[in-house]
Structure 1
Amino acid sequence: MRFDYFARKRWNALAFGAALILVTLAAVTITEYNVVKGFTSIPEAIRWAVSNFYPNEKSLEKLPSIYDKLVETLLVSIASTTVAAVFGFVFAMMGSQAMGVGGALAFVSRSIATLFRNIDVAAWSMILLLSFGQNVLTGYFALFFGSFGFLTRAFMESIDEISSSSVEALRATGAGYLSVICQSVIPSVIPQLLNWILFMVETNIRHATIVGILTGTGIGFSFTLYYKNLNYNAAALVVIVIVGTILLIEWISNYVRRLIL
Protein backbone atom coordinates (compact mmCIF):
# COMPACT_ATOMS: atom_id res chain seq x y z
CA MET A 1 0.00 0.00 0.00
CA ARG A 2 2.83 2.36 0.95
CA PHE A 3 4.68 1.46 -2.28
CA ASP A 4 1.58 2.24 -4.35
CA TYR A 5 1.27 5.64 -2.68
CA PHE A 6 4.84 6.67 -3.46
CA ALA A 7 4.62 5.25 -6.99
CA ARG A 8 1.48 7.29 -7.62
CA LYS A 9 3.13 10.43 -6.26
CA ARG A 10 6.15 9.85 -8.50
CA TRP A 11 4.01 9.36 -11.61
CA ASN A 12 2.01 12.49 -10.77
CA ALA A 13 5.24 14.47 -10.47
CA LEU A 14 6.51 13.10 -13.79
CA ALA A 15 3.20 13.90 -15.49
CA PHE A 16 3.26 17.45 -14.13
CA GLY A 17 6.86 17.91 -15.29
CA ALA A 18 6.03 16.64 -18.77
CA ALA A 19 2.99 18.94 -18.98
CA LEU A 20 5.11 21.91 -17.89
CA ILE A 21 7.71 21.17 -20.58
CA LEU A 22 4.99 20.92 -23.24
CA VAL A 23 3.44 24.22 -22.16
CA THR A 24 6.87 25.89 -22.22
CA LEU A 25 7.62 24.58 -25.72
CA ALA A 26 4.21 25.72 -26.92
CA ALA A 27 4.75 29.20 -25.44
CA VAL A 28 8.19 29.48 -27.08
CA THR A 29 6.75 28.39 -30.43
CA ILE A 30 3.72 30.71 -30.32
CA THR A 31 5.71 33.78 -29.24
CA GLU A 32 8.59 32.92 -31.61
CA TYR A 33 11.05 33.47 -28.79
CA ASN A 34 14.64 32.58 -29.68
CA VAL A 35 16.06 31.03 -26.50
CA VAL A 36 19.63 30.86 -27.79
CA LYS A 37 19.59 34.49 -28.95
CA GLY A 38 18.10 35.57 -25.66
CA PHE A 39 20.92 34.07 -23.60
CA THR A 40 23.71 35.06 -25.99
CA SER A 41 22.56 38.70 -25.92
CA ILE A 42 23.18 38.95 -22.16
CA PRO A 43 26.94 39.75 -22.50
CA GLU A 44 26.15 42.52 -25.00
CA ALA A 45 23.52 43.97 -22.66
CA ILE A 46 26.05 43.98 -19.81
CA ARG A 47 28.63 45.75 -22.01
CA TRP A 48 26.06 48.41 -22.94
CA ALA A 49 25.12 48.97 -19.31
CA VAL A 50 28.76 49.32 -18.26
CA SER A 51 29.42 51.77 -21.12
CA ASN A 52 26.28 53.91 -20.80
CA PHE A 53 24.29 53.23 -17.65
CA TYR A 54 26.31 54.88 -14.89
CA PRO A 55 26.05 58.22 -13.05
CA ASN A 56 28.50 60.94 -14.01
CA GLU A 57 29.34 64.39 -12.67
CA LYS A 58 26.60 66.08 -14.70
CA SER A 59 23.93 63.63 -13.49
CA LEU A 60 24.81 64.46 -9.87
CA GLU A 61 23.30 67.90 -10.46
CA LYS A 62 19.93 66.14 -10.65
CA LEU A 63 20.36 64.68 -7.15
CA PRO A 64 18.31 67.37 -5.28
CA SER A 65 15.37 66.81 -7.65
CA ILE A 66 15.71 63.04 -7.32
CA TYR A 67 15.82 63.40 -3.54
CA ASP A 68 12.56 65.40 -3.52
CA LYS A 69 10.84 62.72 -5.60
CA LEU A 70 12.24 60.01 -3.32
CA VAL A 71 10.82 61.73 -0.23
CA GLU A 72 7.44 62.01 -1.98
CA THR A 73 7.54 58.30 -2.79
CA LEU A 74 8.46 57.33 0.77
CA LEU A 75 5.75 59.49 2.32
CA VAL A 76 3.05 58.13 0.00
CA SER A 77 4.17 54.55 0.70
CA ILE A 78 4.15 54.98 4.48
CA ALA A 79 0.88 56.94 4.56
CA SER A 80 -0.97 54.43 2.36
CA THR A 81 0.31 51.53 4.47
CA THR A 82 -0.60 52.98 7.87
CA VAL A 83 -4.09 54.06 6.81
CA ALA A 84 -4.66 50.68 5.14
CA ALA A 85 -3.55 49.00 8.38
CA VAL A 86 -6.26 50.81 10.36
CA PHE A 87 -9.00 49.83 7.91
CA GLY A 88 -7.52 46.35 7.59
CA PHE A 89 -7.65 45.80 11.34
CA VAL A 90 -11.32 46.82 11.49
CA PHE A 91 -12.26 44.45 8.65
CA ALA A 92 -10.08 41.70 10.13
CA MET A 93 -11.94 41.93 13.42
CA MET A 94 -15.26 41.61 11.59
CA GLY A 95 -14.06 38.64 9.54
CA SER A 96 -12.13 36.80 12.23
CA GLN A 97 -13.47 33.45 13.39
CA ALA A 98 -11.87 33.91 16.82
CA MET A 99 -14.01 36.96 17.50
CA GLY A 100 -17.15 35.02 16.73
CA VAL A 101 -18.85 37.72 14.65
CA GLY A 102 -19.84 35.28 11.92
CA GLY A 103 -22.83 35.65 9.66
CA ALA A 104 -23.12 37.94 6.67
CA LEU A 105 -20.74 40.55 8.14
CA ALA A 106 -17.84 38.10 8.34
CA PHE A 107 -18.56 36.81 4.83
CA VAL A 108 -18.62 40.33 3.37
CA SER A 109 -15.42 41.27 5.17
CA ARG A 110 -13.57 38.18 3.93
CA SER A 111 -14.90 38.64 0.40
CA ILE A 112 -13.76 42.26 0.24
CA ALA A 113 -10.30 41.30 1.54
CA THR A 114 -10.01 38.52 -1.05
CA LEU A 115 -11.09 40.80 -3.89
CA PHE A 116 -8.70 43.63 -3.02
CA ARG A 117 -5.82 41.23 -2.31
CA ASN A 118 -6.06 39.55 -5.70
CA ILE A 119 -5.93 42.76 -7.74
CA ASP A 120 -2.33 43.80 -8.30
CA VAL A 121 -1.13 47.30 -7.45
CA ALA A 122 -0.26 47.92 -11.10
CA ALA A 123 -3.82 46.94 -12.07
CA TRP A 124 -5.21 49.32 -9.42
CA SER A 125 -3.05 52.09 -10.88
CA MET A 126 -4.45 51.57 -14.37
CA ILE A 127 -8.03 51.38 -13.06
CA LEU A 128 -7.67 54.55 -10.98
CA LEU A 129 -5.98 56.45 -13.80
CA LEU A 130 -9.37 56.59 -15.50
CA SER A 131 -10.88 58.42 -12.52
CA PHE A 132 -8.07 60.52 -11.03
CA GLY A 133 -5.59 60.92 -13.88
CA GLN A 134 -1.83 61.09 -13.40
CA ASN A 135 -1.28 62.51 -9.92
CA VAL A 136 -0.15 61.56 -6.43
CA LEU A 137 -3.70 60.67 -5.36
CA THR A 138 -3.84 57.88 -7.94
CA GLY A 139 -0.62 56.37 -6.63
CA TYR A 140 -1.78 56.71 -3.04
CA PHE A 141 -5.07 54.92 -3.62
CA ALA A 142 -3.42 52.19 -5.71
CA LEU A 143 -1.02 51.41 -2.85
CA PHE A 144 -3.80 51.79 -0.28
CA PHE A 145 -6.15 49.30 -1.96
CA GLY A 146 -3.38 46.75 -2.48
CA SER A 147 -2.19 47.12 1.12
CA PHE A 148 -5.72 46.99 2.49
CA GLY A 149 -6.48 43.61 0.92
CA PHE A 150 -3.18 42.04 1.97
CA LEU A 151 -3.16 43.40 5.52
CA THR A 152 -6.80 42.51 6.17
CA ARG A 153 -6.10 38.89 5.28
CA ALA A 154 -2.82 38.81 7.23
CA PHE A 155 -4.38 40.45 10.30
CA MET A 156 -7.32 38.06 10.12
CA GLU A 157 -5.05 35.02 10.19
CA SER A 158 -3.00 36.48 13.06
CA ILE A 159 -6.14 37.13 15.13
CA ASP A 160 -7.47 33.62 14.41
CA GLU A 161 -4.22 32.13 15.77
CA ILE A 162 -4.62 33.61 19.26
CA SER A 163 -6.01 31.49 22.04
CA SER A 164 -9.76 31.80 22.41
CA SER A 165 -9.60 31.09 26.16
CA SER A 166 -8.75 34.68 27.09
CA VAL A 167 -11.51 35.99 24.84
CA GLU A 168 -14.05 33.61 26.37
CA ALA A 169 -12.86 34.47 29.89
CA LEU A 170 -13.42 38.17 29.33
CA ARG A 171 -16.82 37.55 27.78
CA ALA A 172 -17.77 35.41 30.77
CA THR A 173 -17.12 38.39 33.04
CA GLY A 174 -19.52 40.48 30.95
CA ALA A 175 -16.86 42.43 29.05
CA GLY A 176 -18.09 44.16 25.92
CA TYR A 177 -16.77 43.76 22.40
CA LEU A 178 -14.41 46.75 22.61
CA SER A 179 -13.07 45.60 25.98
CA VAL A 180 -12.24 42.18 24.54
CA ILE A 181 -10.41 43.83 21.65
CA CYS A 182 -8.40 46.23 23.83
CA GLN A 183 -7.62 43.85 26.71
CA SER A 184 -7.14 40.54 24.89
CA VAL A 185 -6.83 40.74 21.11
CA ILE A 186 -4.52 43.75 20.65
CA PRO A 187 -1.98 42.77 23.38
CA SER A 188 -1.82 39.25 21.95
CA VAL A 189 -1.32 40.09 18.29
CA ILE A 190 0.37 43.50 18.23
CA PRO A 191 3.89 42.09 17.52
CA GLN A 192 2.54 40.15 14.51
CA LEU A 193 0.54 43.15 13.30
CA LEU A 194 3.58 45.43 13.49
CA ASN A 195 5.61 42.83 11.63
CA TRP A 196 3.06 42.74 8.81
CA ILE A 197 2.92 46.55 8.67
CA LEU A 198 6.71 46.80 8.38
CA PHE A 199 6.70 44.17 5.65
CA MET A 200 4.01 46.11 3.77
CA VAL A 201 5.97 49.36 4.04
CA GLU A 202 8.99 47.64 2.44
CA THR A 203 6.81 46.18 -0.29
CA ASN A 204 5.03 49.46 -1.00
CA ILE A 205 8.30 51.35 -1.42
CA ARG A 206 9.20 48.85 -4.13
CA HIS A 207 5.72 49.03 -5.66
CA ALA A 208 5.70 52.83 -5.51
CA THR A 209 8.44 52.97 -8.13
CA ILE A 210 6.33 51.01 -10.62
CA VAL A 211 3.21 52.95 -9.64
CA GLY A 212 5.09 56.20 -10.20
CA ILE A 213 5.97 55.13 -13.75
CA LEU A 214 2.29 54.50 -14.47
CA THR A 215 0.90 57.55 -12.67
CA GLY A 216 3.64 60.06 -13.54
CA THR A 217 4.57 60.75 -9.91
CA GLY A 218 7.39 60.12 -7.49
CA ILE A 219 10.79 58.71 -8.23
CA GLY A 220 9.36 56.31 -10.80
CA PHE A 221 8.40 59.29 -12.96
CA SER A 222 11.94 60.68 -12.63
CA PHE A 223 13.36 57.44 -13.98
CA THR A 224 10.91 57.41 -16.89
CA LEU A 225 11.63 61.04 -17.71
CA TYR A 226 15.40 60.61 -17.80
CA TYR A 227 15.28 57.29 -19.62
CA LYS A 228 12.94 58.50 -22.36
CA ASN A 229 15.14 61.58 -22.87
CA LEU A 230 18.13 59.22 -23.31
CA ASN A 231 19.74 60.66 -20.18
CA TYR A 232 21.00 57.27 -19.10
CA ASN A 233 23.46 58.67 -16.55
CA ALA A 234 20.68 60.36 -14.57
CA ALA A 235 18.47 57.27 -14.94
CA ALA A 236 21.30 55.16 -13.51
CA LEU A 237 21.57 57.54 -10.56
CA VAL A 238 17.82 57.10 -9.91
CA VAL A 239 18.24 53.31 -9.90
CA ILE A 240 21.16 53.53 -7.45
CA VAL A 241 19.15 55.81 -5.14
CA ILE A 242 16.17 53.44 -5.24
CA VAL A 243 18.30 50.36 -4.49
CA GLY A 244 20.14 52.15 -1.67
CA THR A 245 16.86 53.34 -0.15
CA ILE A 246 15.31 49.87 -0.29
CA LEU A 247 18.36 48.34 1.42
CA LEU A 248 18.29 51.04 4.11
CA ILE A 249 14.56 50.59 4.74
CA GLU A 250 15.01 46.82 4.96
CA TRP A 251 17.83 47.24 7.50
CA ILE A 252 15.71 49.61 9.60
CA SER A 253 12.74 47.26 9.36
CA ASN A 254 14.81 44.26 10.49
CA TYR A 255 16.22 46.29 13.39
CA VAL A 256 12.72 47.29 14.52
CA ARG A 257 11.57 43.66 14.24
CA ARG A 258 14.36 42.55 16.54
CA LEU A 259 13.21 45.12 19.09
CA ILE A 260 9.52 44.23 19.09
CA LEU A 261 9.57 40.46 18.46
Structure 2
Amino acid sequence: MKTNFQSPQQFFRQRRLRLGIVLAVLLVIYGVSMVLVNFQTLASLMQVPAGLIWLFKNFIPTERSISYLGPILYQLWRTLIVSVSSTICASLLGLIFAILGAKTTSPLPGLRLVIRFGASLLRNIPVVAWAMILLFSFKQSDFTGFLALFFMTLGYLTRAFTETIEDLDGEKLQALQAVGANYFQCVFCGVLPEVASTLTSWVLYMIENNLRDATLVGILTGTGVGFLFNHYFKSFRYDAAGLIVLLIAVLVICLELTSTQIRRAIA
Protein backbone atom coordinates (compact mmCIF):
# COMPACT_ATOMS: atom_id res chain seq x y z
CA MET A 1 0.00 0.00 0.00
CA LYS A 2 1.46 3.30 -1.10
CA THR A 3 1.27 6.36 1.09
CA ASN A 4 1.38 9.82 -0.39
CA PHE A 5 4.17 11.39 1.65
CA GLN A 6 4.87 15.04 0.95
CA SER A 7 8.15 16.56 2.01
CA PRO A 8 8.24 19.99 3.69
CA GLN A 9 9.98 21.44 0.63
CA GLN A 10 7.20 20.25 -1.66
CA PHE A 11 4.54 21.56 0.73
CA PHE A 12 6.04 25.06 0.91
CA ARG A 13 6.70 25.04 -2.85
CA GLN A 14 3.03 24.34 -3.52
CA ARG A 15 1.97 27.06 -1.09
CA ARG A 16 4.26 29.58 -2.79
CA LEU A 17 2.87 28.53 -6.17
CA ARG A 18 -0.73 29.04 -5.01
CA LEU A 19 0.15 32.40 -3.48
CA GLY A 20 1.88 33.47 -6.69
CA ILE A 21 -1.16 32.48 -8.75
CA VAL A 22 -3.51 34.42 -6.46
CA LEU A 23 -1.29 37.52 -6.59
CA ALA A 24 -1.04 37.27 -10.38
CA VAL A 25 -4.82 37.07 -10.69
CA LEU A 26 -5.25 40.09 -8.40
CA LEU A 27 -2.73 42.09 -10.42
CA VAL A 28 -4.53 41.23 -13.64
CA ILE A 29 -7.85 42.31 -12.12
CA TYR A 30 -6.28 45.54 -10.91
CA GLY A 31 -4.74 46.22 -14.33
CA VAL A 32 -8.03 45.60 -16.15
CA SER A 33 -9.86 47.84 -13.66
CA MET A 34 -7.30 50.63 -14.23
CA VAL A 35 -7.89 50.45 -17.98
CA LEU A 36 -11.68 50.39 -17.66
CA VAL A 37 -11.92 53.41 -15.34
CA ASN A 38 -8.90 55.20 -16.82
CA PHE A 39 -7.15 55.34 -13.46
CA GLN A 40 -3.52 56.44 -13.50
CA THR A 41 -1.77 54.95 -10.48
CA LEU A 42 1.59 56.70 -10.77
CA ALA A 43 0.04 60.12 -11.38
CA SER A 44 -2.24 59.66 -8.38
CA LEU A 45 0.61 58.60 -6.11
CA MET A 46 2.61 61.66 -7.18
CA GLN A 47 -0.23 63.89 -5.96
CA VAL A 48 -0.41 62.33 -2.49
CA PRO A 49 2.35 64.46 -0.86
CA ALA A 50 0.87 67.72 -2.14
CA GLY A 51 -2.57 66.66 -0.94
CA LEU A 52 -1.31 65.82 2.53
CA ILE A 53 0.54 69.13 2.77
CA TRP A 54 -2.63 71.03 1.82
CA LEU A 55 -4.64 68.98 4.33
CA PHE A 56 -2.35 69.67 7.27
CA LYS A 57 -1.95 73.29 6.28
CA ASN A 58 -5.67 74.11 6.07
CA PHE A 59 -7.42 71.65 8.42
CA ILE A 60 -5.32 72.33 11.51
CA PRO A 61 -7.50 74.17 14.10
CA THR A 62 -6.36 77.69 14.86
CA GLU A 63 -7.13 80.28 17.54
CA ARG A 64 -10.07 81.45 15.43
CA SER A 65 -11.53 77.93 15.61
CA ILE A 66 -12.22 78.37 19.35
CA SER A 67 -15.05 80.77 18.50
CA TYR A 68 -16.87 77.87 16.80
CA LEU A 69 -16.49 75.55 19.79
CA GLY A 70 -19.94 76.24 21.28
CA PRO A 71 -22.06 75.34 18.20
CA ILE A 72 -19.79 72.37 17.44
CA LEU A 73 -20.14 70.87 20.93
CA TYR A 74 -23.92 71.35 20.83
CA GLN A 75 -24.25 69.58 17.47
CA LEU A 76 -21.82 66.88 18.58
CA TRP A 77 -24.01 66.25 21.62
CA ARG A 78 -27.09 65.93 19.40
CA THR A 79 -25.25 63.48 17.16
CA LEU A 80 -24.20 61.41 20.16
CA ILE A 81 -27.78 61.31 21.46
CA VAL A 82 -29.12 60.14 18.08
CA SER A 83 -26.49 57.42 17.77
CA VAL A 84 -26.99 56.14 21.33
CA SER A 85 -30.81 56.25 21.25
CA SER A 86 -31.03 54.51 17.88
CA THR A 87 -28.66 51.78 19.07
CA ILE A 88 -30.51 51.18 22.34
CA CYS A 89 -33.92 51.00 20.63
CA ALA A 90 -32.59 48.71 17.91
CA SER A 91 -30.87 46.45 20.45
CA LEU A 92 -34.05 45.96 22.48
CA LEU A 93 -36.13 45.08 19.42
CA GLY A 94 -33.25 43.07 17.96
CA LEU A 95 -33.05 40.96 21.13
CA ILE A 96 -36.72 40.03 20.79
CA PHE A 97 -36.26 39.13 17.14
CA ALA A 98 -33.10 37.16 17.93
CA ILE A 99 -34.87 35.06 20.56
CA LEU A 100 -37.68 34.33 18.11
CA GLY A 101 -35.25 33.70 15.25
CA ALA A 102 -32.56 31.53 16.89
CA LYS A 103 -32.70 27.79 16.31
CA THR A 104 -32.55 26.98 20.01
CA THR A 105 -35.30 29.41 21.10
CA SER A 106 -37.53 29.93 18.06
CA PRO A 107 -41.09 28.69 18.66
CA LEU A 108 -41.86 28.41 14.94
CA PRO A 109 -39.48 27.44 12.10
CA GLY A 110 -41.33 29.68 9.64
CA LEU A 111 -40.95 32.67 11.93
CA ARG A 112 -37.23 32.00 12.16
CA LEU A 113 -36.85 32.16 8.38
CA VAL A 114 -38.81 35.42 8.16
CA ILE A 115 -36.71 37.07 10.88
CA ARG A 116 -33.43 35.94 9.30
CA PHE A 117 -34.47 37.24 5.91
CA GLY A 118 -35.61 40.58 7.35
CA ALA A 119 -32.37 41.00 9.34
CA SER A 120 -30.26 40.26 6.26
CA LEU A 121 -32.25 42.75 4.21
CA LEU A 122 -31.96 45.53 6.78
CA ARG A 123 -28.24 45.15 7.44
CA ASN A 124 -27.23 44.82 3.78
CA ILE A 125 -28.71 48.21 2.90
CA PRO A 126 -26.03 50.85 3.68
CA VAL A 127 -26.91 53.50 6.22
CA VAL A 128 -26.39 56.18 3.56
CA ALA A 129 -28.98 54.47 1.36
CA TRP A 130 -31.39 54.32 4.30
CA ALA A 131 -30.89 58.05 4.89
CA MET A 132 -31.58 58.90 1.24
CA ILE A 133 -34.67 56.67 1.12
CA LEU A 134 -36.14 58.06 4.35
CA LEU A 135 -35.27 61.61 3.34
CA PHE A 136 -38.18 61.68 0.90
CA SER A 137 -40.70 60.74 3.60
CA PHE A 138 -39.40 62.44 6.74
CA LYS A 139 -37.45 65.36 5.22
CA GLN A 140 -34.30 66.74 6.82
CA SER A 141 -34.64 66.10 10.55
CA ASP A 142 -33.01 64.29 13.44
CA PHE A 143 -35.75 61.67 13.22
CA THR A 144 -34.63 60.77 9.69
CA GLY A 145 -31.11 60.16 10.93
CA PHE A 146 -32.45 58.19 13.87
CA LEU A 147 -34.47 55.90 11.60
CA ALA A 148 -31.58 55.38 9.18
CA LEU A 149 -29.29 54.28 12.01
CA PHE A 150 -32.09 52.30 13.66
CA PHE A 151 -32.93 50.13 10.65
CA MET A 152 -29.32 49.33 9.82
CA THR A 153 -28.49 48.61 13.47
CA LEU A 154 -31.61 46.48 13.90
CA GLY A 155 -30.59 44.17 11.08
CA TYR A 156 -26.98 43.98 12.24
CA LEU A 157 -27.73 43.32 15.92
CA THR A 158 -30.53 40.86 15.17
CA ARG A 159 -28.10 38.76 13.16
CA ALA A 160 -25.33 39.11 15.78
CA PHE A 161 -27.67 38.31 18.70
CA THR A 162 -29.12 35.31 16.84
CA GLU A 163 -25.70 33.79 16.24
CA THR A 164 -24.70 34.44 19.86
CA ILE A 165 -27.79 32.64 21.18
CA GLU A 166 -27.30 29.74 18.77
CA ASP A 167 -23.70 29.28 19.97
CA LEU A 168 -25.01 28.73 23.49
CA ASP A 169 -24.80 25.18 24.82
CA GLY A 170 -28.26 23.62 24.57
CA GLU A 171 -27.80 21.24 27.51
CA LYS A 172 -28.85 23.89 30.03
CA LEU A 173 -32.07 24.56 28.12
CA GLN A 174 -32.76 20.85 27.93
CA ALA A 175 -32.20 20.56 31.68
CA LEU A 176 -34.65 23.39 32.36
CA GLN A 177 -37.22 21.82 30.08
CA ALA A 178 -36.73 18.48 31.80
CA VAL A 179 -37.68 19.97 35.19
CA GLY A 180 -40.83 21.52 33.73
CA ALA A 181 -39.73 25.09 32.93
CA ASN A 182 -41.90 26.86 30.37
CA TYR A 183 -40.68 28.80 27.32
CA PHE A 184 -40.28 32.16 29.07
CA GLN A 185 -38.48 30.62 32.05
CA CYS A 186 -36.02 28.92 29.70
CA VAL A 187 -35.35 32.21 27.90
CA PHE A 188 -35.02 34.47 30.94
CA CYS A 189 -33.28 31.97 33.25
CA GLY A 190 -31.28 29.87 30.80
CA VAL A 191 -30.46 32.02 27.78
CA LEU A 192 -30.22 35.70 28.68
CA PRO A 193 -27.93 35.34 31.75
CA GLU A 194 -25.47 33.30 29.69
CA VAL A 195 -25.25 35.69 26.74
CA ALA A 196 -25.68 39.03 28.57
CA SER A 197 -21.99 39.99 28.47
CA THR A 198 -21.62 39.17 24.77
CA LEU A 199 -24.79 41.05 23.86
CA THR A 200 -23.61 44.07 25.84
CA SER A 201 -20.32 44.04 23.92
CA TRP A 202 -22.22 44.09 20.62
CA VAL A 203 -24.34 47.04 21.78
CA LEU A 204 -21.28 49.02 22.86
CA TYR A 205 -19.58 48.30 19.55
CA MET A 206 -22.61 49.53 17.60
CA ILE A 207 -22.75 52.75 19.62
CA GLU A 208 -19.16 53.49 18.57
CA ASN A 209 -19.91 52.57 14.96
CA ASN A 210 -23.13 54.58 14.84
CA LEU A 211 -21.39 57.70 16.11
CA ARG A 212 -19.16 57.58 13.03
CA ASP A 213 -22.08 56.82 10.72
CA ALA A 214 -24.23 59.54 12.31
CA THR A 215 -21.73 62.14 11.14
CA LEU A 216 -22.13 61.02 7.55
CA VAL A 217 -25.90 60.71 7.88
CA GLY A 218 -26.04 64.26 9.26
CA ILE A 219 -24.58 65.58 6.00
CA LEU A 220 -27.52 64.06 4.11
CA THR A 221 -30.24 64.88 6.63
CA GLY A 222 -28.99 68.39 7.37
CA THR A 223 -28.66 67.78 11.10
CA GLY A 224 -26.03 67.24 13.74
CA VAL A 225 -22.32 67.72 13.51
CA GLY A 226 -22.24 66.29 9.99
CA PHE A 227 -24.31 69.18 8.67
CA LEU A 228 -22.12 71.65 10.54
CA PHE A 229 -18.98 70.10 9.04
CA ASN A 230 -20.48 70.35 5.55
CA HIS A 231 -21.48 73.98 6.18
CA TYR A 232 -18.01 74.99 7.37
CA PHE A 233 -16.31 73.07 4.56
CA LYS A 234 -18.41 74.72 1.85
CA SER A 235 -17.82 78.11 3.51
CA PHE A 236 -14.03 77.55 3.22
CA ARG A 237 -13.71 77.63 7.01
CA TYR A 238 -11.39 74.65 6.98
CA ASP A 239 -9.98 75.29 10.44
CA ALA A 240 -13.46 74.90 11.96
CA ALA A 241 -14.06 71.77 9.90
CA GLY A 242 -10.75 70.39 11.15
CA LEU A 243 -11.80 71.12 14.73
CA ILE A 244 -14.95 69.06 14.15
CA VAL A 245 -12.90 66.13 12.86
CA LEU A 246 -10.60 66.39 15.89
CA LEU A 247 -13.48 66.46 18.38
CA ILE A 248 -15.19 63.51 16.69
CA ALA A 249 -11.95 61.52 16.94
CA VAL A 250 -11.59 62.43 20.63
CA LEU A 251 -15.20 61.45 21.36
CA VAL A 252 -14.86 58.12 19.53
CA ILE A 253 -11.66 57.32 21.44
CA CYS A 254 -13.37 58.17 24.75
CA LEU A 255 -16.30 55.92 23.86
CA GLU A 256 -13.95 53.12 22.91
CA LEU A 257 -12.04 53.39 26.19
CA THR A 258 -15.30 53.47 28.15
CA SER A 259 -16.60 50.45 26.26
CA THR A 260 -13.40 48.55 26.98
CA GLN A 261 -13.73 49.23 30.70
CA ILE A 262 -17.38 48.13 30.68
CA ARG A 263 -16.51 44.91 28.84
CA ARG A 264 -13.81 44.14 31.39
CA ALA A 265 -16.21 44.80 34.24
CA ILE A 266 -18.92 42.47 32.93
CA ALA A 267 -16.57 39.75 31.63
- TM-score for the superposition, normalised by structure 2: 0.92
2:208 corresponds to: 202
1:23-59 CA distance string (max 9 Å, x none): 1111111222221121111111122123222212222
1:208-238 CA distance string (max 9 Å, x none): 1111112111111111000001111111111
Segment drifting more, 111-120 vs 10-19 = 10-19
Letter in 2 for 1:182: F
Task: Quote the Cα distance in structure 1 between the aligned partners of 2:116 and 2:52.
Answer: 47
Displacement of 1:140 in angstroms is 0.4
1:151 corresponds to: 157
Which residues of 2 match residues 57-206 of structure 1 at below 5 A? 57-206=63-212
Task: Quote the Cα distance in structure 2 between the aligned partners of 1:5 and 1:217.
Answer: 58
SS of corresponding position for 2:39 = coil
Q: Percent identity, aligned pairs only?
A: 38
Displacement of 1:90 in angstroms is 0.8
Paired residues of 2:100 and 2:112 also in contact (CA < 8 A): yes
2:218 corresponds to: 212
Task: Quote the Cα distance in structure 2 between the aligned partners of 1:13 and 1:149.
Answer: 36
1:85-117 CA distance string (max 9 Å, x none): 011111111111112534210110111111112
Displacement of 1:142 in angstroms is 0.7
Segment drifting more, 75-84 vs 17-26 = 17-26
Q: 1:131 to 1:11 in 2, by over 3 A?
A: farther
SS of corresponding position for 2:63 = coil
Give the unaligned 5+ runs of structure 1.
none
Segment drifting more, 43-52 vs 149-158 = 43-52
Letter in 1 for 2:198: Q
Displacement of 1:181 in angstroms is 1.1
1:121-179 CA distance string (max 9 Å, x none): 11211111122122111110111011111111111111111111111121222222111
The alignment of Structure 1 onto Structure 2 pairs a total of residues equal to 261
Displacement of 1:249 in angstroms is 0.8
Letter in 2 for 1:132: F
**236, 245, 257: which one pairs with 1:239?**
245
Runs of 4+ in 1 over 3 A off after TM superposition: 1-16
Q: 1:100 to 1:168 in 2, by over 3 A?
A: farther
Task: Quote the Cα distance in structure 1 between the aligned partners of 2:16 and 2:101.
Answer: 40
Displacement of 1:253 in angstroms is 0.7
Task: Quote the Cα distance in structure 1 between the aligned partners of 2:44 and 2:187.
Answer: 56
Q: 1:154 to 1:27 in 2, by over 3 A?
A: same
Task: Quote the Cα distance in structure 2 between the aligned partners of 1:44 and 1:129.
Answer: 37
Paired residues of 2:99 and 2:106 also in contact (CA < 8 A): no
Q: 1:2 to 1:83 in 2, by over 3 A?
A: farther
Letter in 1 for 2:261: Y
Displacement of 1:17 in angstroms is 2.6
SS of corresponding position for 1:163 = coil
Displacement of 1:254 in angstroms is 0.7
